[in-house]
């Protein structure tokens, strides 16, 4: 990931804080700060499909986040001091999680459509849609995954041996 050309050229990067069954992102987050890039993480709004990408000030900033009912660390709902990526310069790159992927770039998420809805909002931002890379285990690559009309394909799926 760290040697990927899109990562190297990107300045504003959104990345998920990994759950135990996902590709672990902690070292990527540390590198984002080491390289002097800006790091944004998801804040999901419960009972909706709305998500914002909020800026982290450092890798250590993660320890100040609150744990949601889904066991995901994220900025609290009353945390209004953080920059939302689309309120500023947009994003260059989004690393995305998922449950399954196919080689056509289709992604099976957790069913709420958070990333699809967020990417739709990105397309309306002056900086346009960021490049999207899904991080996967080889076992998550399928022949095909079910897709809906509003699903947005990822630009690239990275997994071992790909």
What does the alpha-carbon distance between residue 25 and residue 161 come to, in Å, rounded to a whole number?
18
Q: Is 17 annotated as a binding residue?
A: yes
100 is in an annotated binding site: no
* 107 marked among binding-site residues: yes
Question: Any known ligand binding at 103?
Answer: no
Q: Confirm or deny that 3 is annotated as ligand binding.
A: no
d(CA 155, CA 37): 21
The answer to whether 83 is a known ligand-binding residue is no
Q: Is the alpha carbon torsion for 58, 114, 10, 19 positive or negative?
A: positive
Question: Does 110 count as an annotated binding residue?
Answer: yes
Q: Is there a binding annotation on residue 108? A: yes
Q: Does residue 109 have a known ligand-binding role?
A: yes
Annotated binding site for substrate: 17, 22
Residues tagged in the binding site annotation for ATP: 107-115
Annotated binding site: 17, 22, 107-115
């Amino acid at each position: 990931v760290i040697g990927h050309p899109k990562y190297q050229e990107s300045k504003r990067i959104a990345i998920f804080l990994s759950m135990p069954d996902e590709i672990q992102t902690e070292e990527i987050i540390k590198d984002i700060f080491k390289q002097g890039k800006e790091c944004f993480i998801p804040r999901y709004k419960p009972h909706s499909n709305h998500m914002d990408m909020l800026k982290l000030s450092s890798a250590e900033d993660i320890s100040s986040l609150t744990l949601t009912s889904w066991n995901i660390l994220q900025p609290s709902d009353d945390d209004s001091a953080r920059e939302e990526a689309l309120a500023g310069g947009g994003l260059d790159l989004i690393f995305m999680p998922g449950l399954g992927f196919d080689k056509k770039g289709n992604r099976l998420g957790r069913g709420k459509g958070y990333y699809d809805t967020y990417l739709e909002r990105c397309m309306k931002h002056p900086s346009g849609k960021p490049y999207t890379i899904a991080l996967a285990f080889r076992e998550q690559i399928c022949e095909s995954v079910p897709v809906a009309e509003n699903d947005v394909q990822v630009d690239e799926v990275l997994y071992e041996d790909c």
